[in-house]
Every structure is written in structure tokens, then in C-alpha cells.
Chain A
Amino acid sequence: MLLSLKDVSIYYGSAMAVTEVTLSQEEGTVVSVIGANGAGKSTTLKAITGLVPIQSGSIEFDGRRIDGAPTDAIVKAGIACVPESRKLFPHMNVLSNLKLGAYLRRDKQGIEEDLEGVFVLFPRLKERLRQKAGSLSGGEQQMLAIGRALMSKPRLLMMDEPSLGLAPIVIDSLAENINEINRRGVSVLLVEQNAGLVSRVAQRCYVLEVGRIVLEGNINEMMSNDSVRRAFLG
């Protein structure tokens, strides 16, 4: 297993956010976690990146415990995250944002190649190279956030509701982008509320409800499940 969470519980103070979540992902796959607002999706991703501590349980990446490790060690191990509000560096230009994605790397040659790889995926970014990140459109900012995450050459790319606020046509290309990233060998953990997007990219899916996993299975089973359809396909 590339990623495996076992009985992970997370509290904010005394308020429970996530309870006994068990989840696993094989290398090379796209796995999705869907759930309504407040279900604990972002909290789960923050726990994986070490931004919030877990109360109990364990998180393993590539067979090694990463819970309790500092975020930079987790990034170094090969996990990158496109956070919910993108968290770009708004007053820095596109190129500087991308280069910061490669902060922990020293292989100049590899960084250049991956930069080209990002431009192949998002030609728009190449046109906007010297533009400040904060002045980009929503869709372009999402491209930059994904591109920046890819610059760390991750084995696992996590995305927190990347479709949020994007027009349907932009979501279409987002789906293609995710499939292309996965074809390049990167595993993807996709947190979403948009089941349409999930059904086009993921092989497995978990449903999170008030901090608990209530359903899991392969994507076809899940998309034909009545309660999932009612909740996430509108």
C-alpha cells in the first residue's frame, strides 16, 4: 500500500472532527474521498501532511509511519497537496510559485524537466510566467496550485476540492488533467463533493460522513449506490 490510515481520530480541542478513519490506497491509483461540508475531508488531508496532529491511530506512507513527522519530512517522502483554498503566494509570479514547489529538491536538471512537464500540462501557465499569482483567474490559480504541487515530484498528489468555484467546462479539463497526471505515474487522492468529477477519474471511493467512513468500494459500485447518488449527484 502506498498510503494507509488505520483508525485515525482527530480532535480540534475537545471537538471531534474525524473518528476511526481507515483508508488505503495502492500505488498508481486514483482514490477519492467524498463527503458533505464539515465531514472531515480537509482535516484528514491536513493530518496526512502533518499540519494537524492525530489523536490516535496511525498513518503510513510506503510502509513507514508518518504521523507525528514534520510537514517537510512528509513532503520529502513524496506527498504533495493542493489545499482547499489553493494557498498560492499571491504577490509572487507564476515562475517563483512553481520553483517554490521544488524547494526541497537539488536536482537542477530534473527540476527543469518537471517545469517543462507542468507547461505541457498547463500551457496557460507558460504564457503567464511573470504574472503575479494573485492576479490569475480562478481556473489558472488552480492550475498553478496543481503545477506547484507537481514540482516536488510527488508519488502521491492530494487535492482538496479542486473543482470548487470552477465553471463546468473548466472542471472537464480538470478531469483530463488528473487522468494525465495519473498516467505519468503519480497516485492521486482526490477529496471532492462533485461526484461527476470523481466518477471520471477515480477507481475507488470512500464516503465520509460527520467524521466517519460510512461507505467504500470501487467507483462503479459507489456511483450506482442510491444514497451516494442522492447526496452527490443531485
Chain B
Amino acid sequence: MDEINVLQGVLNGLTCAGWYVLVAVGLSLVLSIMNIVQLSHGEIYMIGAYVVYYFCVNLGISFYLGFVIAVLASGLLGIVLERVFFRPFRGKPDQALVLSIGLILVFQNIVLAIAGGTPKSYRSPFEGVVKIGSLALSTERLVIIIAGFVLIGALFLFIRFAKNGQAMLAISQDREGAALQGININRLSAIAMFVGCALAGVAGGLVGALFTLTPTMGATVLMKGIAVIILGGLGSISGAVLGGLIIGLIDGLVPVVTSSYMASLIGFAIVILILLFRPRGLWGHE
């Protein structure tokens, strides 16, 4: 294990971090604003990737257009989910949880019916490799790191400075108190779902170019996303970023030392260890 390999592992880890954070932040946002563990969030990510595939490969239109449509479609799907499925279950988190499990099956089967079960793939226009000294990182991975950190940075600024960002924080800390200030919980829930799902769409569209697409590809990323938000502290956006960095770096660095099969195992072991000492997660309140 030499220095170069470790640095290479850090770069790979940052790629994973960007990917996980984009997914986990949406989960965290929806959990804190709507009080729902949205287990079909991985399917939004999957649909994001398939929409890009559809425009890129099936229609042969440009990746960029497909990507923009995928992000918007994911966001709009989020709004529809909130309005049609989750709003009637407000205040009934257990039922909403079961509903979101049902939605996993619905989305997977819709995509299976339309696109079929054979793995699909598409290429992003980000070709080539960026060299930093003797380190190498493919451009498409670099794009994921940059997109992840730029978008999450923008989300932080929104939450910190925009009126509706502050309103979201307020809802997450006291729902009734927020309503009494005139904050429209329905509207903010829709905004949170749009933002969270659009970010999952970004992740799906970019990461989809690295791997093959299958209707069940959301499962892995959901597991990572859930580990990330539990590690970071449930409902905390900063926590999701920190958790994403830690789990991403573990996934990038552990394969340098052992096999990549060990990475997941060691990753979850470290998460469990941290939680033993900080049961509310790294950034959890109280």
C-alpha cells in the first residue's frame, strides 16, 4: 500500500461521496420536512438514469438534453409523489413507510415493463482522464465530485439564506410552530420533494454512465443513503454531507487495503462502531 494508491483511493472515495451525498441529502430532506422515510428514493435515482438512457440511446438525442429532462422529470415525479401518495399519510409515518416500500415495486416493475430486464448502458460525453501527477481520475468521475459538492453547496446556501430554506429548517424543528408563522407545509413539502428527487436524478444521470442500468439498481444506493443519514444524524443535511464523505472515503480507501468485497462490510462495521458511541449520529441534535 503506497502513497499513490492511497491518494487514488481518496479520489475514488470522493467520487463515491459525491454520489452518496446527492442521494442521501434528498432522503434527509424528505425525512426532516415530511417525516417520512422515503424508501423508494433509490427508484427515483434509477428512473433518472433510465430517462437519460432513453434520450441518449433510444432517441439518440444529446446526453445533455436527456440529463436536463431526467433531472426535471425526477423532481416533478417527486412533486406528484408528495401530492398523491404522501400528503394523505401526513402524520402517519408507519403507513407512509409501507407505502414507500410498495412504490419501490411499482417503479421497478414499470421500468421493467417499459425497458425490459436486460442491463442497459450509455456513455456520458465526459471522456478522457484527468491526470494529477501520477494520479488518474476519469473526467466523468470528476464531474460527479464537482456536481455533488457544487449542488450541495448551493443547497446549503438556500437553506441558510433563502426564506423558504429557513422555513424548511423551521418545519424540521417544530412543525406546528412553523405552521403558526404562516409557513405553508404542503408547499414546502412539495419543494423539498422536488429538490430531493431532482438531486437523486442528477446522481442517477451521472452515475448511470459509469455502470450498467437495471431496474433494481436503486437498492444499493438506497442502502448507502440510509447508512449515510443514520451515520450523519437523521434529518440533518450537514450530517448527510459528513456521513456521505465518511462512507464514500471508506468505500474508496478500503479496497486499496483489502478486496472491494470487504469495503461494504468494513464500511458498515465502522458505521455501527461510530453509532455505538454516538447513537444520534455525528450531527444529530440532543
Chain A residues within 8 Å of B, Cβ to Cβ = 49, 51, 70-72, 75-76, 80-81, 83, 86-92, 96, 99-101, 103-104, 148-149, 152
A100-B166, A100-B167 known; A83+B180 contact, CB < 8 A: yes
Q: A103 touches which one: B173, B174, B176, B181 (CB < 8 A)?
A: B181
Task: For B177, give the chain A residue with the smallest CB separation.
Answer: A87
Q: Is the CB of B181 within 8 A of A148?
A: yes
- Contact partner of B179 (CB less than 8 A), chosen from A51, A91, A148, A152, is A51
Tell me the bound Cα distance from A87 to B174 in angstroms: 6
- Whether the pair A75, B176 counts as a contact (CB closer than 8 A) is no
Q: B176 to A91, Cβ gap below 8 A?
A: no
A81 CA to B177 CA, complexed, in Å: 9
Q: What's the Cα separation between A70 and B184 when bound, in Å? A: 8
Chain B residues, Cβ within 8 Å of A149: 180
Q: Is the CB of B169 closer than 8 A to any CB of chain A?
A: yes
Decide if B76 is an interface residue (CB 8 Å cutoff): no
Structural contact, A103 and B179, CB atoms closer than 8 A: no
Query: What are the residues of chain A within 8 A of B170 when measuring CB–CB?
Result: 89, 92, 100
Question: What is the CA–CA distance of A83 and B174 in the complex, to the nearest angstrom?
Answer: 12
Return the chain B residue nearest A71 by Cβ: B179
Contact at B183–A103, with CB atoms within 8 Å? yes
**CB of B228 to closest CB in A, whole Å:** 20
Considering the complex, give the chain B residue whose CB is closest to the CB of A103.
B181
Q: Complex Cα distance A230/B84, Å?
A: 53
A93: min CB distance to chain B, Å: 11
The answer on a CB contact under 8 Å between B177 and A72 is no
Q: Report A-chain residues with C-beta under 8 Å of the C-beta of B178.
A: 89, 100
Q: Hey, which chain B residues are within 8 Å of A104, CB to CB?
A: 181-182
Beta-carbon nearest neighbor of B167 in chain A? A103
Contact B180 A75 (CB under 8 A): yes
Task: List the B residue with the shortest CB-CB distance to A77.
Answer: B182
Q: For the complex, is B131 an interface residue (Cβ under 8 Å from A)?
A: no
- Is there an interface contact between B182 and A99, defined as CB atoms closer than 8 Å? no
Q: Judging by beta carbons under 8 Å apart, are B183 and A89 in contact?
A: no
The bracket for how many chain B residues form the interface is 10 to 19
**From DSSP, what is the main secondary structure of chain B's interface residues?**
helix
Give Cα A152–Cα B178 distance, bound, in whole angstroms. Answer: 13
Who on chain A is nearest to B176 by CB? A87
Are the CB atoms of A96 and B174 closer together than 8 Å?
no
9 A-B pairs, CB-CB below 8 angstroms?
A49-B179, A51-B180, A83-B180, A86-B177, A92-B169, A100-B166, A100-B178, A104-B181, A152-B182
**Chain B contacts to A: CB under 8 angstroms:** 163, 166-167, 169-170, 173-174, 176-184, 285
Write the chain A residue with the least CB distance to B164.
A103
Given known contacts A92-B169, A104-B181, what 18 new A-B pairs fall within 8 Å (CB)?
A: A51-B176, A51-B179, A72-B183, A72-B184, A75-B180, A80-B180, A81-B180, A83-B177, A89-B173, A89-B178, A90-B173, A91-B169, A91-B285, A96-B166, A100-B181, A101-B181, A149-B180, A152-B182
Q: Give Cα A148–Cα B181 distance, bound, in whole angstroms.
A: 8
Name the residue on A nearest B171 (C-beta).
Answer: A89
**Nearest Cβ in chain A — how far from B45, in angstroms?**
29
Which residues from chain B contact A70 at a C-beta distance below 8 Å?
184
Chain B: minimal CB distance from A129 (Å): 16
Q: Which residues of B contact A103 (CB under 8 A)?
A: 163, 167, 181-183
A75 touches B181 (CB 8 A): yes
Q: Beyond A89-B169, A92-B169, A100-B170, is A72–B182 a contact (Cβ under 8 Å)? A: yes
Cβ contacts under 8 Å, B167 to chain A: 100, 103
CB distance from B92 to the nearest CB of A (A): 15
B180–A71 CB distance below 8 A? yes
CB distance from A165 to the nearest CB of B (A): 17
Determine the chain A residues whose CB is within 8 A of the CB of B285 once the complex forms. Answer: 90-91
Report how far A78 CA is from B228 CA in the complex, Å: 43
Closest to A82 in B: B180
Does the CB pair B182–A89 fall under 8 Å?
A: no
- In the complex the two chains form, is B166's CB within 8 Å of A90's CB? no
B177 adjacent to A75 (CB under 8 Å): no
How far apart are the CA atoms of A84 and B202 in the complex, in Å? Answer: 43
A90 contacts across to B, CB distance below 8 A: 173-174, 285
The 8 tightest CB contacts between A and B, nearest first, are: A87-B177, A75-B182, A104-B182, A89-B173, A72-B182, A103-B181, A72-B184, A71-B179
- Asked if B182 and A87 make an inter-chain contact with CB atoms under 8 angstroms apart, the answer reads no
**Chain A: minimal CB distance from B166 (Å):** 6
Contact A88 B177 (CB under 8 A): yes
Bound-state CA distance A89–B182 (Å) is 14
Most chain-A CB neighbours within 10 Å: which of B167, B169, B174, B182? B182
**Chain A residues, CB < 8 A from B174:** 87-90
Interchain CB contact under 8 A, A89 and B177: yes
